[in-house]
């Protein structure tokens, strides 16, 4: 009888231990899958945010350079601003789901420099007495935000490769042989 109870206790302990480990593995896999989904969506949003920022920046520059702004141009400026804000809200919502603090802080930085460049398009202040305003400055701001978006997307891509356990980006593509979801 004692041997039967001892065997049962050992079997029960072993079963519970393996169940906990299996649940932990499933939880880790689920977390990794959710992170991959969030990072892929974040990459798309970073690109969309840059495109929206660029369009708004150039429209705002054009509006600021004209004395008489036509209704169409004003509508386009308002729409580009609204679109940029909509994407920014979505960008922050998705970034909040990402575990990597470095990536989240780069998203904040991207939005901050884009917002700063969009306040007074084409205007750069070099000192208390030195201001310059030109389309060249608009281009520099556009390129600065673009460069930041590219670096951010590269970091997101590196994190994606790390999560799926490969250095080969083609294996990280959904549906690829050997990929996480294949």
- Specify the pLDDT at position 17: 66
CB of 39 closer than 8 Å to CB of 159: yes
- Specify the pLDDT at position 172: 55
**CATH class of the region 2-172:** mainly alpha
105 CB neighbour count, 10 Å cutoff: 11
- Specify the pLDDT at position 146: 96
* pTM score: 0.75
| Strands 131-133 and 123-125, bridge-based pairing | antiparallel
**Phi/psi at 133 (5° precision):** -140, 120
Q: Consecutive 10-residue runs of the chain (182 residues): their mean pLDDT?
A: 70 68 74 92 96 94 82 89 94 94 95 92 83 91 96 94 75 56 50
Domain ranges of the chain: 2-172
- Specify the pLDDT at position 59: 92
């Amino acid at each position: 009888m004692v041997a039967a109870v001892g065997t049962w206790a050992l079997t029960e302990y072993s079963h519970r231990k393996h169940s906990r480990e299996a649940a932990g593995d499933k939880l880790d896999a689920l977390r990794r899958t959710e992170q991959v989904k969030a990072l892929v969506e974040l990459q798309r949003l970073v690109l969309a945010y840059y495109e929206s920022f660029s369009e708004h920046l150039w429209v705002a520059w054009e509006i600021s350079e004209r004395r008489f702004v036509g209704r169409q141009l004003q509508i386009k400026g308002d729409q580009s601003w609204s679109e940029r804000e909509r994407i920014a809200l979505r960008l922050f919502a998705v970034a909040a789901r990402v575990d990597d603090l470095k990536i989240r802080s780069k998203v904040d930085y991207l939005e901050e420099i884009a917002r700063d460049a969009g306040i007074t398009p084409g205007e750069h202040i070099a000192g208390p007495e030195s201001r310059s305003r030109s389309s060249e400055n608009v281009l520099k701001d556009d390129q600065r935000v673009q460069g930041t978006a590219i670096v951010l997307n590269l970091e997101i891509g590196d994190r994606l490769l790390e999560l799926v356990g490969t250095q080969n980006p083609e294996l990280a593509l959904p549906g690829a042989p050997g990929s996480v979801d294949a």
